[in-house]
Structure 1
């Protein structure tokens, strides 16, 4: 039995008991087991704070940025192993695995570069000093200093590589040690990456720890200056927010939860137009990349009423050409969901939506290539439609976390925007059109309820980064249903791992303070 180790308190440790098995979701074979049972979490967390945190804070931002660059080099050296693990444990094609793995490497490289620009400071200046006395002899300077705690990451199953490093890069750059708890189903890739970095010795002891297995008691050892970043379901997010560490000790929490992301085709589009084709292509991509298991994937597609039938046929025509099955087989474009359990959940959600929506393209029509349908967690992409977007309330309430999207018509732009807001807050909305003024107005109208608005027009057709691709330069997160959190956004990500304080002192002291800090600019 291959029991994956946990790295805690500066050493590798096995949990007790038989452990929880990890499976190949296509072949159904057991790959490894994980267990956190019996671990002394309090000891491990103390070690991270005291040993890892002290060592990281002793370094400058420039020095910590150099560590991120070294981490990236270590991971680059093992890239092929990560692709093998991803295909085996997540059921993804090589291209889909790259979204996770290469995205992680790119994000690390960006934060290494941005951290270099912060220089040899150990604190950040937030804005300019402000006078507290008329003659300027007494002033106030806001200062950002790294938290003297740890960063606990409770991650989702869909991005075991990027999900770790998009959080860890700004945390480590800030000088905050990391403890990651990956989702059990796909924990192997995260664990292997931590193992490789640990073996290379590029980070100080205690700077990076991992707990694989059950999350029971995970938050109990947290202290007031720790922070928690969670990606997953709204139900689990509610449990985290209600934990005594948050309610009594004010542990800072960042949540990314459910999200009914939308795509909007602007009213001036017509069948066959450039914006029409751009929307069709992007919807198909978002339904099929990683089998639709992306928190940013398009779930609702809003189109002018006169385009509804043409859009339905155009998307369906492209979906019919998607080969689904074993990612090891040539020609397979879409692999599996991460588990049979996830497949059951998607099917249940799809059944809910079909109570109020018609079937436009049936995923069940896709043969499963080179895999046993009774074993593999595979399903074809499914397009639904609801001609009355107001009456189809479940479409605006239920997120099916798989290759499923629903087409919805609208009469005018005001109605479309109101329908999109029925999602009650999302990570991203995308807008497709040709008129810059109309695009700008639509983006501004949707910004209050979305963490990101991605506008696609013909001049950026070959340049835009994609509705669902999370770039480290832009904010990732969203209000309301999406969790109310914020990640990435360039150096804005460092805010979560720092404490802001106002230093009030004489002008000479403020001047000396400013000389030792780096001014944070976005």
Structure 2
């Protein structure tokens, strides 16, 4: 009996690829689940359908009406939520709590943008500032407007968030009036395809507003036109290839890139072992290492601690990590599932080997004891912790500042003083997020400003916010997601700021009556 070949939705209809397809596997028990293929699709025709039909229909609505569309999408996803959890367990190998980060995070983000629509005008353009006079008598003025881009939004996404990765991009795009074409990562495309199918079947969006292409990415960028936009999440190597494409270099397609990120956490000076800030730091580091088996672009990779506290932090963290059971996510005793694929498993093993050449391994998770899983089949890696012996070693090391192991792996890095710690954090060459832990508001604020130019988000945790803080690695739709330098230089979310990417700024010059009529 052959495995189901998932169809693509392009040009307003479901279309099967013409090839045999690429198999998607259960990374814990190894069974083949479904196949995906995008061979032979009419991408130029499908993209034009999205622009002309989907774009026209969306732009015929006001911002508030498009917000109502997002609310309708939320209802569809809520109705089918249980099926999404089953797919995530089978295809991503995640325990239920980790699946929630992706699935419920996606629904929360969509809900947030549906509500934000109420803050927008009940029209089809956004005013950018006040009108300015260009004539002494005020008879000629300039008004800047933000108008939705004329083309479509192509999303090329990573494997680790097949649900949230779709909707955190699609929500502000659809709210802006821009149709969406999503190309999910092949290995976990099933959940993305199922969500799109449910929304399409429910008929809550105009035809052409939402399309999905599963399988290979060949031809996608070739089908872009000058007024389209591209948003990519993935490796820096792939991002560099995309940036060299004619769509970017010749047609000036606007591109938003989120790439590699060697994120940091910093325990501030003056904290005693067992203090509130100390405990918050250790708890958050343990959580960031193990949630989704460390497969988050925002996960903590480098953890900076005062030299004198290295033994205490190591002991406390190892005690927490020792309680992490690894194995089959269907077993209620398991707290951490698998990596998403055999390829990802091999990549993490190679990354651990690289770090082991330049750092001491405190906890080896390469061959963990598994619960209800066969170690020869399951793509499981246990929490793996490294450390450097002192501040001088941190300065001399290159590998810990250059290597992102996309799994449950982190390195403890001791520092002498705060200026030295800040310099070492900056060696990440641009990251999505850094988190600070301490109890001195002034010192925390000062350090946040020092590190701000090198990060998209500075997450500050002091005892009074310990219970309410949203987590180092949790991307909230109200806050910016993105980062400079190595992190790709892109920006997403940030509340209504996300709409900027899907709008063009234009200056309209004319008489006051014309400006008022806008």
Work out whether the TM-score is over 0.5.
yes
Q: Is residue 460 from structure 1 mapped to residue 468 from structure 2 by the alignment?
A: no
Contact 1:320–1:366 (8 Å) recurs in 2: no
**Which residue in the other structure is 1:360 paired with?**
362
Aligned residues: 513
- Secondary structure of 1:262's counterpart equals strand
Quickly say closer, same or farther: Cα 1:365–1:182, change in 2 above 3 A.
closer
Report the Cα distance in structure 1 between the residues aligned to 2:422 and 2:156, rounded to whole angstroms.
33
Q: Is residue 439 from structure 1 mapped to residue 444 from structure 2 by the alignment?
A: yes
How far residue 366 of structure 1 moved from its aligned partner, in angstroms, is 3.2
Contact 1:323–1:366 (8 Å) recurs in 2: no
- Secondary structure of 2:221's counterpart equals coil
Q: Deviation per CA, 1:313-337: give whole Å up to 9, x if none.
A: 1111110110000000021000000
Q: Is residue 419 from structure 1 mapped to residue 409 from structure 2 by the alignment?
A: no
115-124 or 96-105, which deviates more = 115-124
Report the Cα distance in structure 1 between the residues aligned to 2:155 and 2:133, rounded to whole angstroms.
40
Report the Cα distance in structure 1 between the residues aligned to 2:141 and 2:268, rounded to whole angstroms.
51
Report the Cα distance in structure 2 between the residues aligned to 1:227 and 1:245, rounded to whole angstroms.
10
- Secondary structure of 2:436's counterpart equals strand
Report the Cα distance in structure 2 between the residues aligned to 1:29 and 1:415, rounded to whole angstroms.
49
Contact 2:348–2:405 (8 Å) recurs in 1: yes
Report the Cα distance in structure 1 between the residues aligned to 2:387 and 2:219, rounded to whole angstroms.
43
Report the Cα distance in structure 1 between the residues aligned to 2:513 and 2:19, rounded to whole angstroms.
61
**Which residue in the other structure is 2:49 paired with?**
47
How far residue 509 of structure 1 moved from its aligned partner, in angstroms, is 1.4
Q: Alignment partner for residue 516 of structure 2, among 511, 517, 522? A: 511
Report the Cα distance in structure 2 between the residues aligned to 1:361 and 1:141, rounded to whole angstroms.
60
Q: Is residue 144 from structure 1 mapped to residue 146 from structure 2 by the alignment?
A: yes
How far residue 171 of structure 1 moved from its aligned partner, in angstroms, is 0.2
Contact 1:185–1:339 (8 Å) recurs in 2: yes
- Secondary structure of 2:24's counterpart equals strand
TM-score (ref. length: structure 2) = 0.98
Contact 2:93–2:339 (8 Å) recurs in 1: yes
Q: Is residue 268 from structure 1 mapped to residue 273 from structure 2 by the alignment?
A: no
Contact 1:75–1:193 (8 Å) recurs in 2: yes
| Structure 2 counterparts to residues 170-181 of structure 1, below 5 A | 170-181=172-183
Q: Deviation per CA, 1:496-515: give whole Å up to 9, x if none.
A: 000000111112211222xx
- Secondary structure of 1:301's counterpart equals strand
Report the Cα distance in structure 1 between the residues aligned to 2:366 and 2:233, rounded to whole angstroms.
30
Q: Deviation per CA, 1:376-416: give whole Å up to 9, x if none.
A: 00010001001211112111111000000000000111000
**Which residue in the other structure is 1:449 paired with?**
454
**Which residue in the other structure is 1:75 paired with?**
77
Report the Cα distance in structure 2 between the residues aligned to 1:326 and 1:509, rounded to whole angstroms.
65
Q: Is residue 99 from structure 1 mapped to residue 104 from structure 2 by the alignment?
A: no
Q: Is residue 400 from structure 1 mapped to residue 402 from structure 2 by the alignment?
A: no
Contact 1:48–1:206 (8 Å) recurs in 2: yes
Report the Cα distance in structure 2 between the residues aligned to 1:486 and 1:17, rounded to whole angstroms.
36
Contact 1:107–1:472 (8 Å) recurs in 2: yes
476-485 or 267-276, which deviates more = 267-276
**Which residue in the other structure is 2:384 paired with?**
382
**Which residue in the other structure is 2:299 paired with?**
297
- Secondary structure of 1:448's counterpart equals helix
Contact 2:367–2:381 (8 Å) recurs in 1: no
Report the Cα distance in structure 2 between the residues aligned to 1:318 and 1:364, rounded to whole angstroms.
18
Runs of 4+ in 1 over 4 A off after TM superposition: none
Report the Cα distance in structure 2 between the residues aligned to 1:311 and 1:25, rounded to whole angstroms.
33
- Secondary structure of 1:363's counterpart equals coil
How far residue 344 of structure 1 moved from its aligned partner, in angstroms, is 0.4
**Which residue in the other structure is 1:520 paired with?**
none
How far residue 138 of structure 1 moved from its aligned partner, in angstroms, is 1.5
Report the Cα distance in structure 2 between the residues aligned to 1:32 and 1:399, rounded to whole angstroms.
30
TM-score (ref. length: structure 1) = 0.98
Report the Cα distance in structure 2 between the residues aligned to 1:135 and 1:255, rounded to whole angstroms.
46
47-56 or 384-393, which deviates more = 384-393
How far residue 365 of structure 1 moved from its aligned partner, in angstroms, is 6.3
Any gaps of 5 or more consecutive residues in structure 1? 514-522
Q: Is residue 502 from structure 1 mapped to residue 507 from structure 2 by the alignment?
A: yes
Any gaps of 5 or more consecutive residues in structure 2? none
**Which residue in the other structure is 1:253 paired with?**
255
Report the Cα distance in structure 2 between the residues aligned to 1:145 and 1:510, rounded to whole angstroms.
15
Report the Cα distance in structure 1 between the residues aligned to 2:136 and 2:434, rounded to whole angstroms.
48
**Which residue in the other structure is 2:315 paired with?**
313
**Which residue in the other structure is 1:343 paired with?**
345
- Secondary structure of 2:207's counterpart equals coil
Report the Cα distance in structure 2 between the residues aligned to 1:364 and 1:495, rounded to whole angstroms.
44
Report the Cα distance in structure 2 between the residues aligned to 1:93 and 1:382, rounded to whole angstroms.
19
Report the Cα distance in structure 2 between the residues aligned to 1:365 and 1:230, rounded to whole angstroms.
33
